[in-house]
Amino acid sequence: AGPPPQALAKEAHKYFDHAVVSVRAGDGGHGAVLNMPPGPSADSAPAKTRGGGRAADKGKAKKGSGKKVSFKRNYDGSVSLPVGGHGGDVVLYADEAEESLLGFHAKVRHCAKRGGNVGATGTLSSRMHNGFAGETLRIPVPVGTVVRRKKGSVLADLAHPGDEVLVARGGQGGISLIDAPDYKRGKAMALSPNVMRDVTDKILTHGQPGEEISLELILRVVADVGLVGLPNAGKSTLLSAITLARPDIADYPFTTLMPNLGRLGGDPTLGAMQFSSGATLADLPGLIEGAHLGKGLGRNFLRHLRRTRVIVHVVDAAADDPVNDYKIVRDELRMYNPKYLERPYVVVLNKIDLPK
């Protein structure tokens, strides 16, 4: 069971980027047990009439011209018996309209539809059809979601819009069998090898169950530039000044509880290729000393730097010791992932307009 709704509303920052869900593909539809069709002689018996020759002639004309049932055939010439429908698969795909994984805490189990059963029962006929295939269940997730087996291997990294992964396959549909008495068994075998030998064969008509799997979904924000710094250093203010993003801004620490994204537009006045490619910026919640040990908002937000190519250190120039503040953040990055220090970085001194 997921967290209560009130917790999701009040503490969304604890749940927005991680979720555990269970998915189940649809079961296959069932086949059928079919009786042998009546022989042509039953359909083509001459009509009994009271009249004389003319009616008798009609009877002779009809004799031997009974309806011949035409069956759909396999490549080997055997009759194609109907099968149950394939169960629905489960697919996860990256959708730009999705922003977080909060919805997966409200609904933790997702099931695809089962395949349809063979539509007809009774006698084998040419009008029989296969069961309908179950519809694929397509589940949208935010761009940047990593899909992995619960406590297992990574299945996919859905880093681009439209990326998708099949996480559970639907069950195969059951086959159909011909039920024929012993004296008709040879004739039945001539039609199809799928002849029921005894009642235990009925299990072959049952559709197979769909796959079921528990998944761990981990969201890593997709951004080119990550803004990091101590709480209240002005990261959100900087983001709002240079992009169209409108994050919550206040003069107290930990205003930002979840990463904010903004897009830096290119400036065509600088000339071709000078500053023509826009970049996505992510404003991450503030770090404090010991964040890698879980202090403050903890270390989990540092996973959102995984995809960034440049790190921007925003430092409050009006603080008591700006140099030490910068070192604290660098140390936290190093203790979380030493590779973060190998990336290009820029140091931005903020609040330089304050008198002190």
pLDDT digits (tens, 9 = 90+) for 20-78: 999 999 999 998 888 877 665 333 344 444 444 444 444 444 444 445 556 677 677 77
Rounded CA-CA distance 60/43 in Å is: 14
The pLDDT-based confidence of 295 (bands split at 50, 70, 90) is low
Residue type for position 144: G
Structural domains of the chain, ranges and CATH numbers in brackets: 18-35+72-218 (2.70.210.12), 222-350 (3.40.50.300)
Look at 6-15, 46-55, 165-174, 293-302 and tell me which has the smallest mean pLDDT: 46-55
Q: Cα(136)–Cα(140) distance, rounded to whole angstroms?
A: 13
Alpha-carbon distances of 179 from 98, 222, 253, rounded to whole Å: 53, 59, 77
> Which pLDDT tens digit goes with each residue over 210-250?
999 999 998 887 778 888 888 877 777 787 777 766 645 44
Tokens 């796959």 belong to: 211
Per-residue pLDDT averaged across 194-212, rounded? Answer: 85
Q: What distance, in Å, lies between the first and last C-alpha atoms of the chain? A: 52
What does the alpha-carbon distance between residue 204 and residue 256 come to, in Å, rounded to a whole number? 58
What pLDDT is stored for residue 187 in this prediction? Answer: 77
Separation CA 281–CA 295 (nearest Å): 25
| 220: its two tokens | 């890593």
Average pLDDT, the chain: 76
Query: In the structure, what pLDDT confidence band is assigned to residue 121 with cuts at 50, 70 and 90?
Result: low
The stretches of 243-352 forming alpha helices (DSSP H) are 322-336
Is the pLDDT at 267 greater than 50, yes or no? yes
Distance CA 261, CA 39 (A): 74
Q: Does residue 97 carry a pLDDT above 60?
A: yes
